[in-house]
Amino acid sequence: MTFSDIFKSSFLENVTAVSVLDMALALVLSFGLGVFIFLVYKKTCQGVVYSSSFGVTLIALTMITTLVILAVTSNVVLSLGMVGALSIVRFRTAIKEPLDIAFLFWAIAAGIVLAAGMISLAVIGSVIIGVILLVFVNRKSHADPYILVLACDGQDSERQAGELLQSATKLCRVKSKTVRPGQIEVNYDVRLKNGDTGFLNALGALRGVHSAALVSYNGEYMG
């Protein structure tokens, strides 16, 4: 009994079901699309800290998905077994940014479409998605939000600080106010004029103002 006789159940035939040229072409194209997705992610990253490992994961995920779909399309029995094997896999990594989910699905979808032989759809679709993300994610239709924490000793100093803020900022509104004996703490939501923070020095110089701290924040807000 030869080696081929042992695997007579069409195993060796399935190995050659996908030609080496097709495999190489699919993997090279998936690598190219993965790099393109990675570059778009790098340009549109909205997180506080840029994760280079997540970007590399997008490239690997595109290629791995292509590899899996190539195997699935060449053998129906293998596809059923692979579905069962993948169903037991559990991923515990938390997705911190909602936009990262879109990039994960984009990488998976590109790998699936590419391995299915629809190269033009994978390439043109990825280019269109990338352009849309670059336009809308990097588009800023509002001024950066800031929180100003003001500590003063009385109502007069609070009023003077409020008047200064109204004239020196684009937008100023009270978010919260805490009153203690001999001290008032007010949190303002402010928008700067051309990024100018010089008014903060004027606030600190006002009589009765103990401290003024300006903090930038990221998040969902209205206004």
What is the set of domains in the chain, with CATH numbers? 3-137 (no CATH), 145-216 (3.30.70.1150)
Distance CA 215, CA 118 (A): 49
**Tokens encoding 87:** 């169903």
Report whether 190 contacts 172 (CB < 8 A): yes
What pLDDT score does 12 carry? 47
Average the pLDDT over 63-83 and give the result: 72
Max mean pLDDT among 68-82, 93-107, 151-165 falls in 151-165
Residue 61 in this model has a pLDDT that exceeds 70: yes
Residue 7 in this model has a pLDDT that exceeds 50: no
What pLDDT score does 107 carry? 92
What pLDDT score does 21 carry? 83
Backbone angles phi and psi of 160, in degrees to 5: -65, -40
Provide the pLDDT confidence category of residue 23 given band limits of 50, 70 and 90.
confident
Three-state SS for 47-103 is CCCCCHHHHHHHHHHHHHHHHHHHHHHHCHHHHHHHHHHHCCCCCCCCCCCHHHHHH
Residue 26 in this model has a pLDDT that exceeds 70: yes
Residues of the chain above pLDDT 90, percent: 17
What pLDDT score does 40 carry? 92
Strand partners, 148: 188, 214
For residue 85, how far is the Cα from the chain centroid? Answer: 29
Of 13 and 51, the structure prediction assigns the larger pLDDT to 51
Token look-up 């549109």 returns: 44
What pLDDT score does 213 carry? 87
What pLDDT score does 166 carry? 86
Q: CA nearest 41: which of 105, 87, 125?
A: 105
Provide the pLDDT confidence category of residue 127 given band limits of 50, 70 and 90.
very high
What pLDDT score does 19 carry? 75
Residue 140 in this model has a pLDDT that exceeds 70: no
Provide the pLDDT confidence category of residue 130 given band limits of 50, 70 and 90.
very high
What 43-48 contacts at long range (C-beta under 8 Å, 24+ apart), as own/partner pairs, is: 43/134, 43/138, 44/99, 44/133, 44/134, 44/137, 44/138, 46/97, 46/99, 46/137, 46/218, 47/96, 47/97, 48/218
Residues of the chain above pLDDT 70, percent: 75
Residue 220 in this model has a pLDDT that exceeds 60: no
Locate the DSSP E strands across the chain: 145-152, 171-180, 183-191, 209-216
The length of the chain in residues reads: 223
Task: Enter the pTM of the model.
Answer: 0.63
